[in-house]
A and B are shown apart, each in its own frame.
Chain A
Amino acid sequence: MKEYIDSGKKDTRSGFGAGLAELGNSNPKVLALTADLKGSLKMDQFAAEHPDRFFDVGIAEANMVGMAAGMALSGYIPFIGTFANFATARVLDQIRQSICYSRTNVKIAASHAGITLGEDGATHQTLEDIGLMRMLPGMVVINPCDYNQTKAATLAAAAWDGPVYLRFGRPGVPNFTPADQPFEIGKAIKLNDGADVTVIATGHLVWEAIQAAKQLEAQGVSVDLLDIATIKPLDKEAVLASARKTGKVVVAEEHLIAGGLGEVIAGLLATACPTPMRFVAIDDQFGQSGKPAELMAAYGLDAAHIVQAALSF
């Protein structure tokens, strides 16, 4: 199996901050708005370098969505940033009407998604956001796996004409994507060619899936491994080709089973290539306080659980 080197743990939200800072200098149309979470969203550099294009709107997310939509009408490209819960569930109707139905070119930057938010507990541990965002017509949904991929995805989101949802996490995770690898929206990344089982992972679970694939290889099971950063639009060809080859598919994500990538893949396979599947995700429950690694293990979201799922067919 191909070797992936962790160049040092970094949080994906910092990849967004770096991408935004780069856009600040390369594209004068890019704006940034936040609802009192400038530091958490790593917008400090953009805000310092472009104070005239940065808006901290206070703790008022609904208004932030509307303001961004109004700015986008004039050709600006606003990135609105807050925690994933407040960026989605709290303002779903505003995103639906003022962004998606009105076709305004707004990018939603959502941090602290998933269970790895950790100690803050279930009020902030958003596990529904992928489902909420992918249901909206016209919304692109991107869940990058590490710092470098997040930075590249941020640049790609700015270049995309239309609404984009970008999902980031809070803790540092291994950074292994080559820094010069461009991000192609809608394109799966093949991390390993294998024949026995397909593992499809997104976000923080991609590194866990790489570890799982190594362990499985050591046991004589070769894994066809896909990193799906763009959940919508889905790279259907890549998924179908892998499912046809292996006949077994595991999907791993830091999200509820309901609404998540697993359901997206299941929907595709059910109609185009019925294939036995296993879901490594959270089943119909809220999270709780704890350390990220401890929570990932407790809720079954680590390499060990991916291995277990892959061997369970």
Chain B
Amino acid sequence: MEYSLEQIASQVRRDIVRMVTAAASGHPGGSMSATDVLTYLFFKEMNVTPENWRRSGEGLDQFFLSAGHISPVLYSLLARRGYFPVSELATFRRFGSRLQGHPSVDKGLPGVNQAAGSLGQGLSVAIGAAIAKRMNADPHTVYVLLGDGESEEGQVWEAAMAAAHYKVDNLIAMTDWNHQQIDGTTEDVAGLGNLRTKWEAFGWSVLEGDGHDFAEIARVFKEAHSRSRLGTPVMILWHTEMGHGVDFMAGTCKWHGKNPSVEQCAEAMKQLEETMGDFAL
């Protein structure tokens, strides 16, 4: 059966909330703000075949999650896309699981290219992978997702400078700009400011879009491709809402790294349609 992007995203958000509730820990807020963009990425945008996945990324598009704490959305999408059985989502954060709290290659989970969790490192890795693709004359694209709070890390801007210097134009970087981090809003905590002018000043081609509107997501990705391979790295700033999809979780930093209670989970399930079948707990 073919599912619409909306149906997939609804199921992914159900997975996220159910995973963190079952694990009694994890990061639902940023997972839910990034859900629509990453659903589009994995189901429409990227040229990937899960059965051919390998860490080298050879001959395929390659995705790096830099903000590793939003592992629930990555795991749900990898499972729903067919990288590993959906039933394995029930093992999230449990002893011996391949679904570690933060993404790991340690236990060989298909679809995870690199460990992430300590913030600010993924863009550098993606740049290295993109340069390797260029050296190998591999025409595929490298994608990476950063958090907006993560962009407070200095390494992100080291990487920003390097990507422009090395004209890494087979890379599409994205920021999940939900304006929230653990301790409050990105403005209150760190004065994050205007990400667009910051990235432009570092020599990037910058696009913006509504990260919860699939028509817009499609349009912006298309535009991103038209701007790639032109000697400049591309950054898409996705305007999103932390906790999007569940009214009592939306738009606040409170759900950055907190799990719902069983009752709150039940309430959230009423707001998110089950479309592809829940994993068994």
Contacts and interface: CB of A to CB of B under 8 A. Distances in A.
Given A62-B124, A94-B121, A73 B131 contact: no
Contacts of B165: 58
Interface in B106-142: 106, 113-118, 120-133, 135-136
A27 to B, nearest CB: 14
Given A58-B158, A73-B125, 15 more contacts: A58-B165, A60-B158, A60-B159, A63-B127, A63-B159, A63-B162, A65-B124, A66-B155, A69-B128, A70-B131, A71-B131, A73-B129, A97-B115, A97-B121, A104-B114
A74 to B, nearest CB: 4
Contacts of B101: none
B127 A70 contact: yes
Interface in B90-108: 104-106
The 9 lowest CB-CB distance pairs between A and B, nearest first, are A70-B128, A66-B124, A60-B158, A63-B158, A67-B128, A74-B132, A70-B129, A70-B125, A62-B155
Contacts, number: 112
Nearest to B144: A70
Given A69-B125, A97-B117, A58 B162 contact: yes
Nearest to B136: A74
B161 interface: yes
Nearest to B126: A70
B57 interface: yes
A101 B115 contact: yes
A101 B101 CA distance: 14
A289 interface: no
B55 interface: yes
B154 interface: yes
A58 B158 CA distance: 9
A101 B106 CA distance: 7
B129 A71 contact: yes
Interface string A47-76: 000001101011010111111111111111
B162 A57 contact: yes
B142 to A, nearest CB: 8
24 contacts: A52-B135, A53-B135, A60-B158, A60-B159, A63-B124, A63-B159, A63-B162, A66-B127, A66-B155, A67-B131, A69-B124, A70-B64, A70-B129, A73-B55, A73-B125, A73-B132, A74-B135, A74-B136, A76-B132, A76-B135, A96-B118, A97-B118, A101-B104, A101-B115
Nearest to B118: A97
Contacts of B124: 62-67, 69-70, 94, 98
A217 interface: no
B248 interface: no
Contacts of A72: 128
A2 B173 CA distance: 61
Contacts of A63: 124, 127, 155, 158-159, 161-162
Interface residues of B, number: 38
A71 B138 CA distance: 13
Contacts of A71: 128-129, 131-132
B161 A73 contact: no
Contacts of A97: 115-118, 121
B135 to A, nearest CB: 7
B56 interface: yes
B58 interface: yes
A284 interface: no
Interface of A: 52-53, 55, 57-58, 60, 62-76, 78, 93-94, 96-98, 101-104
A103 B132 contact: no
Contacts of A78: 128
A63 B154 CA distance: 9
A74 B154 contact: no
Contact of A67 (B64, B114, B127, B136): B127
Max chain A C-beta neighbours (<10 A), residue from B124, B133, B136, B162: B124
A103 B117 CA distance: 15
A66 B125 contact: yes
A66 B123 contact: yes
Nearest to A78: B128
Nearest to B153: A62
Interface string B45-60: 0000000000111100
Contacts of A103: 105-106
A170 B125 CA distance: 30
Nearest to B132: A74
B125 A98 contact: yes
A98 B113 CA distance: 11
Contact of A74 (B56, B105, B117, B120): B56
Contacts of A76: 132, 135
Nearest to B131: A71
B106 A66 contact: no
B154 A62 contact: yes
Contacts of B64: 70
Nearest to A56: B165
Nearest to A97: B118
B114 A98 contact: yes
Contacts of B123: 66
Contacts of B159: 60, 63, 66-67
A59 to B, nearest CB: 9
B115 A58 contact: no
Nearest to A98: B121
